[in-house]
Amino acid sequence: MQMDDLYQEMIIDHYKHPRHAATLTDEEVLVDEENPTCGDRIRLTATVAEDGTVSDIRYDANGCAISVASASMMAETLVGRPVGEAREQIRDFVELMRGRKEIDPSELGDLVALEGVKNFPMRIKCATMCWHAVEHALNQLATA
């Protein structure tokens, strides 16, 4: 099935066992984003430690396999990184999805499984929404 291109085992694994997923209270939520075309929703919180690294990302995602897997991989990728590096990673991933940037697969880690999404234009937003959400959360933390 050609669907393997899109729904790689890695994606199904993250979808069924999302890392850093949590039930969040309204007070904890920093960002609440929705994709009106499909109803996908992500509520997300993040913390930045005193040394400037992203110390925690937790989220409550309700959506398709692509969106949930992307959130799971996003949290795994970004937690523990300096904020500047995390922002760079966010930009790179979004550009990769939009087909505007090539990234060496060896640098992508698990994210390599999401590369196929860029060939399905209707689904790109599914993969990028949580990355935009975490970027907005980091912006909020920076101005707080």
Partner 1 sequence: MTTSATMTAPVADELGLDMAALRAEFPMLHRTVHEGQRLVYLDNAATTQKPAAVIDAVADYYRTCNANVHRALHQVAAEATALYEAARTDLAGFIGAPETECIVFTRGTTESINLVAHGWGDAILKPGDEIVLSEMEHHSNLIPWQLLAARTGAQLQFIPVLDDGTLDLEAYRKLLSGNVKLVAITHMSNLLGTINPVREMVAEAHRAGALVLVDGAQSVPHFPVNVTDLDCDFLAFSGHKMLGPTGIGVLYARRNLLESMQPFLGGGEMILKVDWRSATWAEIPHKFEAGTPNMAGAIGLGAAVRWLRQFGMDTLHRHEAALTQYAIERLEEVPGLEIFGHAPERGGAVSFSLDGIHPHDVAQFVDQQGIAIRAGHMCVQPLIRQLGHAALSRASFYLYNAEDDVDALVAALHKTREFFDHADG
Instruction: Please give the residue ranges that form the binding site for partner 1 (CB under 8 A).
Output: 1-3, 6-7, 9-10, 12-17, 36-41, 62-66, 120, 123, 126
The distance of closest approach from Cβ of residue 13 to partner 1 in the complex, given in angstroms and rounded to an integer, is 3
The distance of closest approach from Cβ of residue 130 to partner 1 in the complex, given in angstroms and rounded to an integer, is 14
Q: Considering only CA atoms, which of 34, 64, 56, 11 is closest in space to residue 133?
A: 34
Question: Closer to partner 1 at the Cβ: 56 or 110?
Answer: 110
Q: Residue 126 in contact with residue 66, Cβ under 8 Å?
A: yes
The distance of closest approach from Cβ of residue 23 to partner 1 in the complex, given in angstroms and rounded to an integer, is 17
Question: Closer to partner 1 at the Cβ: 48 or 129?
Answer: 129
Measure the CA–CA gap between 130 and 3, rounded to whole angstroms: 22
Measure the CA–CA gap between 49 and 141, rounded to whole angstroms: 11
Q: Residue 114 in contact with residue 11, Cβ under 8 Å?
A: yes
